[in-house]
Amino acid sequence: MQQDSQHNDEYTIQVQDKAPVDLAKPVKIHPPKGGKGANQYPPNDRIYVREVKGRVETMRRLLGFALMALFLMLPWLTYQGEQAILLNIFEQRFRIFGLTLWPQDLTILAWLFMVAAFALFLVTTLWGRVWCGFTCPQTTWTFIFMWFERKIEGSRHQRMKLDQRPMDADKFIRKTLKHLAWLLVALFTALTFVGYFTDIRALFSEFFVLQSSAWAVGFVLFFTFATYGNAGWMREIMCTHICPYARFQSAMFDKDTFIVAYDEKRGEPRGPRGRKVEPSKLGLGDCIDCNLCVQVCPTGIDIRNGLQYECINCGACIDACDNVMEKMGYPKKLISFTTERRLQGGETKVWRLKSVGYGLALLALGALLVLDVVFRVPLELDVVRDRNTLYRENQQGFIENVYQLRIMNKSQQAQVYSIHATGIEDLEYIGPAQVEVAGGEVHIVPITVAIDPYFLSASLVEINFTVTAESDSRVSRQTQSNFISR
């Protein structure tokens, strides 16, 4: 401690001998001034984010545009004459192009969710919170809402001035147009999202003529106001206080994880200076303390304070700082995507025990998902006995049992199935030998099995029912049931 104190004293004296330096001042967030009765503690959603341009911002916009286009386009695609992606919860049937998933296919969804989770873990271990900054729907919609805000209310400085002045006609019109634009975007988003779960063409045609069902209208309105509230008002509160990923992602970080970081050794001590002044002569680092990195941050943090869980790795501060460095004639990447180990002068290890473990787990789960889909039989068979009559004797003296075969065609094409009953010698099958079942439908077939009592060795014996597709003998299911004689 004494050595540190002595070192700090020497450092202070050295700086003071060269030139007086204005040390870094606390970052100021400029909320609008409230009138009488306004909140004493300005909410975080009044952060005024400055627009920034640069290579990272361009990449983020292009990726966001591609993902948004994919989100808007997918429910409108058709496959074999039907909506390509339809997650029908009421009918308990998910149709994804040529694949139809039923509750019996829950393992496929479980593998899919686990693959997505471990992919997120691997990406986080390697590149930090790039999901949050570049692909998260909350971030994408927030930046869309901020774009409308800038176009209608003006730049950061103009928005601050607009909120500070009393209500007048111009302010009322701008605020009304902004919120109207937000609501329209949120409504279109909600309609598209609900369109993944119902016929999207019918939804759009019926919604605006007030012919939609109460369920459809309720969900559309719910997601409209949820999007409007999340992207328009809550914004970074979702990322810093509500989203669980912001809380547990730090457990996946280490010194080799790529993060948005400030090079303190190069930038400190920070302070203002002229463009033509050599910073070394003033005892300063490259940071001119312009606070632009704070003004462009959507969560309102100062990246110069070190790694913080509020940082979503959007890279806006990188572009802002690079633009300043370019104007000052300094090298770029004072703020950059880097690792803690690299900042300390070491070599980053991309593949280490943690990332290799997540990678192997991801490969294993992906293989299980592929195997489950490849070896999935698109046919399901359930047999239900008639509960009203356990057995009966017909005119020939044969014992009869009545069953219902529930044949589920899990493909999207109509199939013809043959039905066979086996397991007891000389049984008589009474019912259709073949049935045609439409794609993605369930067909119930009532049948009767009659057996001569001479061939029954016990009062309760097992009987097998087999259903096989005529087009492909590999698509076959066999189910056992009981035959009761007394």
Is residue 152, in this structure, part of any structural domain at all?
yes
CA contacts within 13 A on the Cβ side of 260: 26
Pull the structure tokens for residue 382. 């359930």
Give one DSSP letter per residue of 239-272, joined into a string. Answer: IIII-THHHHGGGG--TTS-EEEE-HHHHPSP--
Give the pLDDT confidence score for residue 12 in this predicted structure: 39
What is the C-alpha end-to-end distance of the chain, expressed in Å? 93
End residue of a domain, out of 343, 360, 394: 343
Same structural domain for residues 143 and 190? yes
Nearest CA to 236 out of 371, 149, 145, 138 is that of: 138
- Tell me the β-bridge partners of 407: 381, 443
Sign of CA dihedral 391, 395, 398, 404: negative
Contact (Cβ atoms closer than 8 angstroms) between residue 455 and residue 425: yes
- Burial of 302: CB neighbours in 10 Å, binned 0-12, 13-18, 19+: middle
Residue 438 and residue 168: Cα distance in Å, rounded? 63
- Asked whether residue 67 is assigned to any structural domain, the reply reads yes
Q: Give the DSSP H or E segment for 422.
A: strand 415-422
Any idea what the CATH number is for the domain that residue 446 is in?
2.60.40.10
Q: Are residues 82 and 175 in the same domain?
A: yes
Same-domain check for residues 466 and 318: no
Model confidence pLDDT, tens digit, residues 127-147: 988 999 999 999 999 999 999
pLDDT of residue 257: 92
Whether residue 61 sits in one domain with residue 13 = no
Last residue within a domain, chosen from 343, 366, 387:
343
Assess if residue 22 is contained within a domain: yes
Instruction: Using the structure block, give the residue that is written with the tokens 């690079």.
Output: 322
Range of the domain at 223: 48-101+136-234
Alpha-carbon gap, residue 229 to 405, rounded angstroms = 50
Given strand 434-437, what is the order of strands in its sheet?
434-437, 415-422, 460-469, 476-484
Total domains in the chain come to 3
- Residue 345 neighbours by CB distance under 10 Å: 7
Q: How far apart are CA 95 and CA 15, in angstroms?
A: 69
Q: Rounded to the nearest 5 degrees, what angle is found at the Cα of 261, between the Cα atoms of 256 and 265?
A: 100
Phi, psi of 33 (to 5 degrees): -80, 125
Summarised one tens digit per residue, pLDDT across range 383-403 is 998 878 888 888 888 999 999
| Residue 65 and residue 198 in one domain | yes
- What is d(CA 284, CA 266) in angstroms, rounded to the nearest whole number? 9
185 with 327, same domain: the answer is no
Interacting residues of 27 by C-beta distance below 8 A, sequence separation 6+: 291, 294, 302
Domain shared by 93 and 213, yes or no: yes
Residues 84, 162: one domain? yes
Tell me which residue has tokens 């919860």.
89
Looking at the chain, how many residues does it have?
Answer: 486
Q: Are 400 and 450 in contact, with CB atoms under 8 Å apart?
A: yes
Strands 415-422 and 434-437: antiparallel
Q: Are 282 and 14 in contact (CB under 8 A)?
A: no
Q: Which residues pair with 401 in a beta bridge?
A: 449
- Residues forming a β-bridge with 477: 467
Got the DSSP string for 140-176? HHHHHHHHHHHHHH-SHHHHHHHHHSPP-HHHHHHHH
Residues 410, 380 contacting (CB under 8 angstroms): yes
Same domain as 189, residue 78: yes
What's the one-letter identity of residue 275?
R
Helix residue ranges, H only, 256-313: 264-267, 292-295
Cα three-residue angle 383-446-474, rounded to 5 degrees: 55
C-alpha span between 448 and 389 (Å, rounded): 12
Strand, helix or coil at 74?
helix
With left for phi above 0 and alpha for psi between -120 and 50, is residue 210 left, alpha or beta?
left
Does a structural domain hold residue 37? Answer: no
User: In the chain, which residues have pLDDT < 70?
Assistant: 1-45
Q: Is residue 128 part of a domain?
A: no
Task: Say yes or no: 15 and 68 in one domain.
Answer: no
**Is 294 part of any domain?**
yes
Q: Which helix (H) or strand (E) holds 46?
A: none
Residue 467 counted as domain residue: yes
DSSP 470: S
Closest CA to 49 of 292, 297, 231, 236: 297
Domain assignment present for 353: no
Q: Are 318 and 256 in contact (CB under 8 A)?
A: no
pLDDT score at 45: 47
Report yes or no: 199 and 83 within 8 Å, Cβ to Cβ: yes
Residues 147 and 56 in one domain: yes
Is 80 found in the same domain as 153? yes
Ramachandran class of 432: left when φ > 0, alpha when ψ lies in -120 to 50, beta otherwise: beta
Confidence (pLDDT) at 13: 36
Domain final residue pick, 321, 343, 365? 343
